[in-house]
A and B are shown apart, each in its own frame.
Chain A
Amino acid sequence: MKNLKYFLCTMLLAGTLLYSCKSDLLEEKPTNVIVASEFFKTAADAEIALNGAYNAMQGEWVLDFLGMPVHWGNKGVDELNSPNWAAGGRKELQLYQITSNMGAIEDLWAGHYEAINVVNGVVDRVSEMSEELIDQEQKDRIVAEARFIRAMLYFSTVKIWENIPLIKNETRSLNDLFVGQALPDDVYAFIIEDLQYAEATLEEGQGEGRATKGAAAALLGKVYLQMTGHPLNQNDKFGLAITQFEKVIGSGTYGLLPEYADVFDYQNEDNIETIFAVKFDGPAMNGDGSSVGSYMGPNGSQENGGGWGTEFVNQELVSSYDDNDVRLCHNVAKHNVNTNCIDSCDPNCQLGACAWRPWKWHKPKPNTFLYDSPIDMIYIRYADILLSYAEALNRTEGGPSSVAYGLVNQITSRSNAPEFEEGMDMETFADALLRERRRELCFEGHRKDDLIRFGKLEEIVMAINETCWSSAGNPGPEYQDFKKRYPIPQREIDLNSTLKQNDGY
């Protein structure tokens, strides 16, 4: 009897105790993630959040190589050929068979806006931190770096889609999901504001992956320059661009490397020619590596330094190089890395021209990189600034000055390419400059923006005539003027009725 009584009491007690121990049984208290409302309590929190902004920009489909450069800058232009077997929408983008329900366009859009929201969160929440939590100088620097990243993101978004929702703050409620489109002018104004703040706040220096005063100045110059072309066509921006480029050049922080190849050497990163790069570490560094060297790489197995074989080089690009131009054999792989050839231009090594592939970022032989290489994606480099400066000067001065020639010839002389000879008029110089930009900057994601800015996209696209088996076809037949920006993803229009599709789609 006694035992029984004890037992029942114990049972009840055990139950009662467990309830009281677990009075928070129904509370949500995650320990495997950070609860948003409990973060941003220290300066260290703010720094970690800022790292998150860099990480967001680095994401696949954003400013990672596979994002904006591959799916926008290099596509539908005369740099690469997509073969028949290229999947994931790249072939369609190359051929201008563009529809608003393409997965690639959806992913590109989603990637950019996810990153924008992360960065908005950093800007908002760090700005909200009181002085007891973080000192003003550190706070300003963090906000300025984040705003630089936001400017990069909006710059690419407005170029790709033109008419985009301009979201300035982090989405914090389900009631704030539906935002309409802003005028491109307003988006550019916002970008300029961010960059001006970043330039004013940040320190000079190469930065080793961090945004700096120089990077902000350079990007702002490029933004002004792009504003001179479609859709804004604001010629007054050439002057503003020049001021920015002069600041970059005058800072003395940056310069050209003596060897073209060294710029893209993954063991020589954060060099003086790199103004800003999206950083990658790999292999096996928590998945922080890139596909840069594999997406575009020679024939042969990946561990020997080969690529995937889903991009081939445009034949006209190859023939545009002078035979002595060192960039030719650096940027174009004519060989198979499984053989013993090291120089792509070694005549004993050459494959048929249709098998030539892009090869700007060289992986070592052997390597274990696969999809996870340590190769950075350079976002702005000094050579681009020199050429952009020359471009702006040519336009504002109604023709090339000796300064402009000098700028371009810094580039050509480094690569043992033919110099620009004096005597060109404005248009001739601009045309030559555009071709020089392709030889210098090919595959880096600039070509489409350049062609749009120069008003040459249609002309160039129509002229593409590739006959190789490694080309799925020519983009000309499907090109139409409205295709110089992508359609707003149909999914977004379906979900958000305030959005209007870009004309033509």
Chain B
Amino acid sequence: MKNHNQLYFHPRKFKLFLMLFFISFISANVFAQFKVTGKVSGDNELLIGVSILAKDLVGVGTTTDVDGNYELDLPDGNQTLIFSYTGFTPKTIELNGQTTVDVVLELNLNTLDDVVVVGYGKVSRRDLTGSISSIKGEELTKIQSISFEQGLAARAPGVQVISSEGGPGAGVKIRVRGGTSINASNDPLYVIDGFPIQGSNQATNVGLGNSSSSPLASIDPNDIESIEVLKDASATAIYGSRGANGVVIITTKSGQKGKAETNFETYFGVSELARKLDLLSPQEYVDYWNEYFPYNPNDPNNQYSAQYRDELGNLIPLDDARITPFNWGNEVFRNSPIQSYRVSVSGGTDKTNYAGSFNYIDQQGIVNTSEFKRFGGNIKIDQKVSDKFKLGFNLNAGITDRGGIISAASEGRNGQNGVITNITLFTPVQGQIRYADATYDENGLLLSTRDGDVVNPKSLVDKTVNTNRTLNAFTNVYGEYQLAEGLTFRSSFGANINIFKGKAWFPSDFGWGRNVNGIAIIGTNQNSGWLNENTLSYVKKVGNHGFNAVLGYTTQYSQFETLRAESNDFPVPNINLDALGSALAAQTNRTNAGESGLRSYLGRVNYTLNEKYLFTVTGRYDGSSKFAKGKKYGLFPSAAFAWRLGEEKFIADVDAISSAKFRVSYGQSGNQSIPNDFSISSYGFANYGFGNTGQQSAVFLNRLDNPDLSWETTAQFDIGFELGLFKDRVYLNFDYYQKNTFDLLLAVPVPFTSGFRTSFQNLGEVENKGVELSISTRNITGKKFSWDTNFNISFNKNEVLNLGDAEEFLVSSIGEHRNDYIVRVGESIGSYYGFVNDGVYSYNDFVEFEGLGQAESEAIMADFDRAQDTWFTLKEGVPSKLGAARFRPGMIKLKDINGDGIVDPDDRTILGSSQPDHYGSVTNNFSYGPIDLSVFMTWSVGNEVYNNNLTRGMSTAIPFFNKYGVIRDRWSPTNTDTDVWGVWGEGDSGIGDDLQSYYIEDGSYLRIANLTLGYRFPKDLLQKVGIASARAYVGIDNIHVFTNYTGFDPDVSVGFNQLTPGLDWDAYPKMRTYRVGINVGLK
């Protein structure tokens, strides 16, 4: 072997070697002299596709057919056969001349023999040294999630899945062991059938809104065989520069020899709004309005104060014809259908394995017009060209259509609010007077008020277009050649493409498009790339020494292009998006493009001694186009050791312990997920118009070059323990890790005097450390009744250790607040930052009310028409607020943290963070005969949610919006025992665009995420109609959430800035879905 190894390092010689090898290729020939037949069964069923191999004869074997029968020709009857089947313990049988051997395989409760996909290879879980969570396809599809990311939610310890919002096809954020970076991406690397792709969420709106979806939404989770999440450095280092945020390996289903299957799966369901908000009722809203606009006898027809009053100032009842109450929720929310269909075929012969599927899903959202549709397919073919040569293809392609509403809109003015904000805040009662600055439809119903700031949600939903379509495809071809026993060369070439096209139309009669007679926007993004990988792997066992090694060379190229076209002013009715040319005002078309490349050398050696001591050494040497000349290459090594304690006599003798493994690993991985060309100084484009000659092109310097820009590195230490008890009926997996990311790709704040706000430098450090624990128990394993439980829990602490010269910097989220997040040394990335509420100013805080009782104080207030127009003198020692000059009871009071008597920006503090103390899930699976039941619960504890909807929903300074229910308890001269500010209470307090702690809520929750009840039809019944298997089920997703959060759902985080997590702002609410489905297997 030594000679061979020397050859490999010389590519030219290596090619020569290959040629010689092909020429000298001789196929083996086995002479049949002995025939053995039999049946294989297990778990009371005949097993199809059981692999049967002759132990001592290379390449001699077969599989069982659909009836569980097998037949094998052997040279003699003294052979030993190995029967193996996924999920069952393999059985070795010495023939001793028998010609008929029926075998019963035992169900295997432990997972140690499962094959786990790792980077550039596979190992059995037994031999694993790294920390890898593996999720099987069945688990993933239990909740019929639209995207596999949703299916991952709470399934794997250390893998946090956070919804952006609740709409159909909405994106999620995945964090593997916490966020490592501040400015480079924190999203894991996805590897789909060997194709690595940086899968950050895609924006789904080309106009307004910040909704996102997964770029991998084209993949049907039902096509997935397994997902492996690589977590520790030993596992991720093979992906080198892209491994720091974890690696999610997705393996799609392949056909298996002899196991021809045709399946048809379908389900139907209906979704509803899972939780409702507490808003003011129409009457309460009118009461609030009338408090805001008191009756004015001198101006009885005032457009505001007379809105809900007659000429004498008497209140008009809600059932009066002059006013119109609405329930916008009823108008816009609906119970929406979902349907899904999937057909698949798979199978294999001695030489060919194949799998193909097609799926169609149509999910309508609970807000009118929102929907997600997917047409997807997957084809995988593996062909044994000869005993030594294997060739395979696969193609995965999907088209997704999203239709939808504008949500998570960043602007709150000029009719640019999102739909959810309008549903909650559009006036619930239309008064009797038409406003001068409002628009009305032909029936006189309000379309928008306040210059289009608030838009009738029904019109908004019905008339606004916001759709997009994505085509996403991967294709791959590989050839694998066995050069010698255990030595395999593999070369693959793949390509991917993702084409997104979005359209948005904002009509001319209300909202954003009103001022410019309609806005039509079309945007496209295209991402594509290719990948070439060449690996040489070697597996060998010599006595007690086992080797498993891989060496590789890969290159990957990625490219993107964008185009955005916008036109305004559409004079022809109903002509807009499909005829942009009809517009009178075309905006400048905008394009962007870029390309990047990676060139890498990788290697890994696994060595096992006595099947007890396992060693892994991995390294990848990566070059990336993203870094400065001379700084492009980085080396990412790792090493791991595992000790299978269970094999040691002192443990093996303990009956209770069935298996035990201790693991430890250390290594480095990297991150290069920053935009292209950040190391070079460049000019951006603008324009300037002299005289009336139109616009002239202009450029301006927008980046300082950094000739030292290079890799961000994450060093990770992991120590783990696995323990199987009572024949693995209890299996426990524990990990402690510490991950330190240094030389961050950080947008370092630089003095503004340099002409730049930030400069990208390798500076700073972030730490994540945590504990993960999963426990699987087989509580009852009866023949008829079984019950098992899977539990996992994760703790992660994220902390910024160093930011270079800076101690902190502030970040602004989408929405109306500024500097509402902070990145500060000693805190977790993206903490909420602002003022702490201290209730409201009370009578006691003012000189004028000194010593007065409640009744006397009320008497003073009764002298004023409106409480909000009167001002009093703060007592000595009562803190005032910067930005406010005059005070009165009922105004927001903030904590003067530094005690200097005035609340100013120095009194801002950290108000919480979206990082939970722990999160996890419990799954209970029951089966009783043909009936199965599973209950899946998830939780998150200790995280806060930033409910920015309250900013408008609690604004007592703006009467034109409806309010959240909490405003019922607002301060008034007679309702003083409250923390809720009175009319104008926040407007006058100088809160402005600052965040206050009132908007930060506890986001802990326990969710009953899914309940599924299934029934397997009896085989004999099915056989009469020619069906092999059938299972029907009913399921409910998102049954209930136990939480104190007052918004729609605490599992929310809108926007694309990873430094502003946990933000709930105009987010699409989550739904509850009821489903009925059936899976049918045809013969």
Check A283 for interface membership: any CB of B closer than 8 A.
Answer: yes
Name which of A3-11, A250-258, A412-420, A430-438 contacts chain B. Answer: A3-11
* Residue B966 CB within 8 A of the other chain: no
Kindly specify which of A19-27, A194-202, A236-244, A392-400 makes contact with the partner chain.
A19-27
Is the CB of B705 closer than 8 A to any CB of chain A? yes
Q: Is A235 an interface residue (CB 8 A)?
A: no
List the A residue with the shortest CB-CB distance to B512. A370
B493, B593, B754 — most chain A CB neighbours (10 Å) = B754
In the complex the two chains form, is B696's CB within 8 Å of A302's CB?
Answer: no
- B882 contacts A27, CB within 8 Å? no
Contact B594 A36 (CB under 8 A): no
| B682→A103 contact, CB < 8 A | no
Which residue of the partner chain, among B686, B695, B883, contacts A92 with CB atoms under 8 Å? Answer: B883
Residues on the A chain within 8 Å of B19, using CB:
5
By the criterion CB–CB under 8 Å, are B759 and A174 in contact?
Answer: yes
Instruction: Give the contacts of A457-471 with B (CB-CB under 8 A).
Output: 469
> Does A170 lie within 8 Å of B755, measured CB to CB?
yes
A303 B515 Cβ-Cβ under 8 A:
yes
Cβ of B676 and Cβ of A176 under 8 Å apart?
no
Contact B884 A472 (CB under 8 A): yes
Known: A4-B22, A171-B754, A472-B886. A39 touches B695 (CB 8 A): no
Q: Which of B85-93, B165-173, B330-338, B584-592 lines the interface with chain A?
A: B584-592
Q: Which chain A residues lie closer than 8 Å to B594 at the CB level?
A: 30-32
Minimum Cβ distance to chain B for residue A266 (Å): 11
Which residues from A are CB-within-8-Å of B479?
Answer: 7-8, 11
State whether B677 touches A28 (Cβ < 8 A): yes
A-facing residues in B684-708 (Cβ within 8 Å)? 684-702, 704-706
Please pick, from B555, B697, B705, B706, the residue contacting A22 in the complex, using a CB distance under 8 A.
Answer: B555
Cβ-defined partner of A110 (8 Å) among B684, B693, B701, B752 = B752
Chain B, residue nearest A5 (CB): B22
Q: How far is the CA of A338 from the CA of B450 in the complex (A)?
A: 12
Q: Which of B699, B906, B993 contacts A87 (CB 8 A)?
A: B993
Q: Assess the A30–B676 pair: CB atoms within 8 A.
A: yes
Nearest CB in chain A to that of B437: its residue: A301
Q: Is A319 an interface residue (CB 8 A)?
A: no
- On whether A368 and B753 interact (CB within 8 A), knowing A87-B993, A91-B883, the answer reads no
The reply to whether the CB of A423 lies closer than 8 angstroms to some CB of chain B is: no
A54 touching B688, Cβ below 8 Å:
yes
Q: A117-B755, A496-B751 are in contact. Are A281 and B689 (CB under 8 A)?
A: yes
Q: Is A121 part of the contact surface with B, judged by Cβ < 8 Å?
A: yes
Closest partner residue, chain A, to B623 (CB atom)? A26
CB distance from B303 to the nearest CB of A (A): 10
A279 to B690 Cα, complex, angstroms: 7
| Residue in B385, B626, B992 whose Cβ sees the most chain A Cβ within 10 Å | B992
Contact with B along A273-299 (1 / 0, CB 8 A): 000000111011110100000000000
Interface string of B577-608 (1 = CB under 8 A from A): 00000000101100111110111000000000
Q: Could you tell me if B690 and A116 are in contact, using CB atoms closer than 8 angstroms?
A: no
Q: CA separation between A208 and B696, bound complex, in Å?
A: 13
Contact partner of A48 among B516, B597, B698, B905, CB < 8 A? B698
Q: Are A284 and B587 in contact (CB under 8 A)?
A: yes
Contact B682 A1 (CB under 8 A): no
A55 touches B385 (CB 8 A): no
Whether B753 contacts A55 by the Cβ 8 Å rule is no
Which parts of A199-258 form the interface with B (CB within 8 Å)? 208-210
Q: A121 near B701 (CB under 8 angstroms)?
A: yes
Pick from B386, B436, B904, B905: contact of A300, CB under 8 Å? B436
CB distance from A386 to the nearest CB of B (A): 25
- Across the interface, A174 reaches (CB within 8 A) one of B682, B683, B704, namely B704
- A49-B699 in contact (CB<8A): yes
Within 8 A of A (CB), among B477-498: 479, 481, 491, 493
Contact: A22 with B557, CB < 8 Å? Answer: yes
Selected contact of B807 from candidates A52, A58, A103, A494, CB within 8 Å: A494
Whether A51 touches B688, Cβ cut-off 8 Å, given contacts A35-B682, A36-B681, A281-B695, is yes
Complex alpha-carbon distance, A54 and B700, angstroms: 10
**Within 8 Å of chain A (Cβ to Cβ): is B279?**
no
- The answer to whether B699 touches A4, judged by C-beta atoms less than 8 angstroms apart, is no
- A240 to chain B: closest CB distance in Å? 29
A368 vs B519: C-alpha distance when bound (angstroms): 12
Q: Taking the nearest CB of chain A, how far is it from the CB of B722, in angstroms?
A: 39
A167 interface residue (CB < 8 Å to B): yes
Asked if B761 CB lies within 8 Å of chain A CBs, one says yes
| A15 and B491 contacting across the interface, CB-CB below 8 Å | yes
Q: Does B31 contact A (CB under 8 A)?
A: no
A97 at the interface (CB under 8 A from B): yes
Q: Which of A38-76 contact B (CB under 8 A)?
A: 39, 48-49, 51-52, 54-56, 58
A45 CB to nearest chain B CB (Å): 9
Alpha-carbon gap, A126 to B1082, bound state (A):
77
A489 with B752: CB separation less than 8 A: yes
Q: Closest approach, in angstroms, between the C-beta of A346 and any C-beta of chain B?
A: 17
- Cβ contact within 8 Å between B597 and A99: no
Contact count band on B: 35 or more
Tally of chain A residues near chain B (CB < 8 A): 103
* B64-85 residues at the A interface, CB under 8 angstroms: none
Mask of B734-772 contacts with A, CB within 8 angstroms, 1/0: 000000000000000111111111010100000000000
**Which residues of A are found within 8 Å of B677, using beta-carbon distances?**
28, 30, 33
Given A25-B555, A36-B683, A494-B807, A113-B754 contact (CB < 8 Å): yes
Q: Are A30 and B436 closer than 8 Å at their CB atoms? A: no
Chain A residues with CB under 8 A of B756 = 114, 117, 171
Q: How far is the CB of A238 from chain B (nearest CB, A)?
A: 32
CA distance A85 to B557 in the complex (A): 52
Determine how close the nearest CB of chain B comes to the CB of A496; give it in whole angstroms. Answer: 4
Task: A135 to B839: give the CA distance in the assembly, Å.
Answer: 69
Known A103-B819, A210-B690, A288-B688; judge A176-B754 contact (CB<8 A): yes
Instruction: Name the CB-closest residue of A to B993.
Output: A87
Q: Are the C-beta atoms of A118 and B681 separated by less than 8 Å?
A: no
* A99 and B681 within 8 A (CB): no
CA distance A410 to B71 in the complex (A): 115
Report chain B residues within 8 Å CB of A163.
none
Which single member of B386, B696, B705 contacts A51 (CB below 8 Å)?
A: B696
Contact pattern, A 288-322, Cβ under 8 Å of B = 1, otherwise 0: 10000000000011111000000000000000000
- Give chain A residues whose Cβ lies under 8 Å from the Cβ of B676: 28, 30
Q: Please, which residues of chain A bring their CB within 8 A of the CB of B532?
A: 14-15, 18-19
Q: Is the CB of A32 within 8 A of B593?
A: yes
Are A54 and B698 in touch, CB under 8 angstroms? yes
CB distance from A267 to the nearest CB of B (A): 10
A370-B411 Cα distance, complex, nearest whole Å: 14
Residue from the list B626, B753, B807 in contact with A165, Cβ < 8 A:
B753
A246 to B682 Cα, complex, angstroms: 43
Residue A101 interfacial (CB < 8 Å): yes
Question: Which residues of chain B from 662 to 687 have any CB-CB distance to chain A below 8 Å in the complex?
Answer: 676-677, 679-687
> Is B885's CB under 8 angstroms from A286's CB?
no
Interface residue ranges of A112-129 to B (CB < 8 Å): 113-114, 116-118, 120-121
Question: Within 8 Å of chain A (Cβ to Cβ): is B261?
Answer: no
> Closest CB-CB distance, B818 to chain A, in whole Å?
6
**Given A103-B819, A171-B754, A30 and B682 contact (CB-CB distance below 8 Å):** yes
Question: How far, in angstroms, from A473 to B761 measured CA to CA in the complex?
Answer: 45
CA distance A55 to B698 in the complex (A): 7
Please list 11 pairs of residues, one from A and one from B, whose beta carbons are closer than 8 Å in the complex, sorted by A's number: A1-B22, A8-B479, A33-B682, A52-B686, A95-B883, A103-B818, A103-B819, A172-B705, A208-B692, A472-B883, A495-B806
The 4 closest A-B pairs by CB, nearest first: A117-B755, A473-B885, A208-B691, A51-B698
Instruction: Name A's B-contacting residues (CB within 8 A).
Output: 1, 3-5, 7-8, 11-12, 14-15, 18-19, 22, 25-37, 39, 48-49, 51-52, 54-56, 58, 84-85, 87-89, 91-92, 95, 97, 99, 101-103, 106, 109-110, 113-114, 116-118, 120-121, 165, 167, 170-174, 176-179, 208-210, 269-270, 279-281, 283-286, 288, 300-304, 336, 338-339, 368, 370, 469, 472-474, 477, 489, 491-492, 494-496
